[in-house]
Amino acid sequence: MDKTTANPLRGIAMKVMSIMLFICMQGLIKEGGKGIATGEITFFRSFFAMVPILGWLAFRGDLPGALKTANPVGHFYRGFIGVISMTLGFYGIVHLPLPESIAISYAMPLFSVIAGAVLLKEDVHRYRWGAVGAGFVGVVIILWPRLDMIRQGTFGAGATAGALAVLCSAAMAAIAMVHVRQLVRTERTPTIVFYFSLSSSIFSLMTLPFGWNAISMPAALMLIGAGFIGGVAQILLTESYRYADVSAVAPFEYTSIIWGTLIGYLFFNELPDETLLVGAAIVISAGIFIIFRERQRAVDTARKDQSLTP
223-256, pLDDT tens digit by residue?
999 999 999 999 998 888 888 877 778 889 999 9
Per-residue confidence band for 67, with pLDDT thresholds at 50, 70 and 90: confident
- HEC string of the chain? CCHHHCCHHHHHHHHHHHHHHHHHHHHHHHHHCCCCCHHHHHHHHHHCCHHHHHHHHHHHCCHHHHCCCCCHHHHHHHHHHHHHHHHHHHHHHHHCCHHHHHHHHCCHHHHHHHHHHHHCCCCCCHHHHHHHHHHHHHHHHHHHHHCHHHHCCCCCCCHHHHHHHHHHHHHHHHHHHHHHHHHCCCCCHHHHHHHHHHHHHHHHHCCHHHCCCCCCHHHHHHHHHHHHHHHHHHHHHHHHHHHCCHHHHHHHHHHHHHHHHHHHHHHHCCCCCHHHHHHHHHHHHHHHHHHHHHHHHHHHHHHHHHHHCC
pLDDT at 304: 59
More confident site: 273 or 303: 273
More confident site: 150 or 34: 34
Q: What is the pTM of this model?
A: 0.89
Q: Across residues 46-73, what is the average pLDDT?
A: 91
For residue 152, is pLDDT > 90?
A: no
For the ranges 4-8, 85-89, 263-267, 298-302, which has the lowest average pLDDT? 298-302
For the stretch 201-229, pLDDT in tens is 999 999 999 889 889 999 999 999 999 99
- What residues have CB less than 8 Å from 52, skipping those under 6 apart? 228, 231, 232, 235
pLDDT at 123: 82
For residue 153, is pLDDT > 60?
A: no
pLDDT at 150: 56
pLDDT at 99: 94
pLDDT at 242: 80
pLDDT at 22: 96
For the stretch 1-53, pLDDT in tens is 555 567 889 989 999 999 999 999 999 999 999 989 999 999 999 999 999 99
pLDDT at 236: 92
Task: Identify which of 286, 275, 289 has the alpha carbon closest to the alpha carbon of residue 140.
Answer: 275
For residue 81, is pLDDT > 80?
A: yes
pLDDT at 82: 92
Task: Identify which of 2, 57, 16, 19 has the alpha carbon closest to the alpha carbon of residue 245.
Answer: 2
Q: Distance (Å, rounded) from C-alpha 51 to C-alpha 117?
A: 36
For residue 154, is pLDDT > 60?
A: no
For residue 303, is pLDDT > 80?
A: no
